[in-house]
Structure 1
């Protein structure tokens, strides 16, 4: 009885695997590249256009997901307001209050803005994921990609962009 059950289970497994290997589109693809954002000093900046210009391959994807990862511990990426620049100024002010520079931090290897930058970076995060639909980022009407730079002086920031999805045929 056990051998019949095992044979039946193997047949069912074979049929299932055969079915799903035909369903997966052959146009699934991955793309990855690293690019740098323009150097900026402390503040929150709308960088959607800069990101899209650095990633023309987005236009090749019918459906997919873009992941942006910043390779730094004193800056961050987030999605937020893309219209009113006062939101970026208010965010900068709020983060300055949450992690003030004039506190008694132990870690100050690169200056008094060093540790507050690490705290703010951890609060905001190192990556964002954005859906791709019909060759464009599928952000909401008022959403844009922000670079939050937490160091006083200008820094060049490197982003690893990974796209996974189905390309146009």
Structure 2
């Protein structure tokens, strides 16, 4: 009798486990990935609000109910960040502050591409090469006053390449 009860108990546990696995498969939404590279228009030194340009380059954002957008800049003399999207004075003040933190006037050893080369690398490392932004209901879930900035640290215009990766749940 004990053996029969033990077998029934094991069989019941197995059946319940299989049902749980099946239900889990039905309730976890499938994750989707999207990746593409796009370019931002060339700009000279300064901080620029590029949110609209990014969103126009990534129409697939609207296909995601929930997710995460990672933007990665493939350059070492510019940066991406999130910051003030309304008052352009903030971008001018940021440019001035970064020029004081890593001034072009220092006697840098690395100047292969000109006197703005090494200061651009320093500023890029301070700000960073990537940003991650949540996606909610097919839109970027930035705060009210947040926008995506391109911080260009070279004196002359450069086109910048961005790898955009989206991971999330698409609308059905």
TM-score above 0.5, yes or no: yes
Which of the residues 24, 27, 40 maps onto 2:28?
Answer: 24
Structure 1 runs of 4+ off > 3 angstroms? Answer: 14-17, 19-23
Superposition pairs of residues 35-74 of structure 1, within 5 angstroms = 35-74=38-77
Q: TM (normalized to structure 2)?
A: 0.87
Superposed CA RMSD in Å reads: 1.9
Q: What does residue 116 of structure 1 align with? A: 119
- Runs (5+) with no aligned partner, structure 1: 1-7
Could you list the runs of 5+ residues in structure 2 that have no partner in the other structure? Answer: 1-9
**Structure 2 Cα separation of the partners of residues 101 and 86 of structure 1:** 22
2:153 matched to 1:160? no
For 1:90, the equivalent position in structure 2 comes to 93
Query: Which one has a bigger Cα radius of gyration?
Result: 2
Structure 1 counterpart of 2:80: 77
1:103 matches 2:106: yes
CA offsets 1:58-86 (integer angstroms, 9 cap, x no match): 00000000000000000000000000000
**Within the alignment, does 1:127 sit opposite 2:130 as a pair?**
yes
Aligned residues: 159
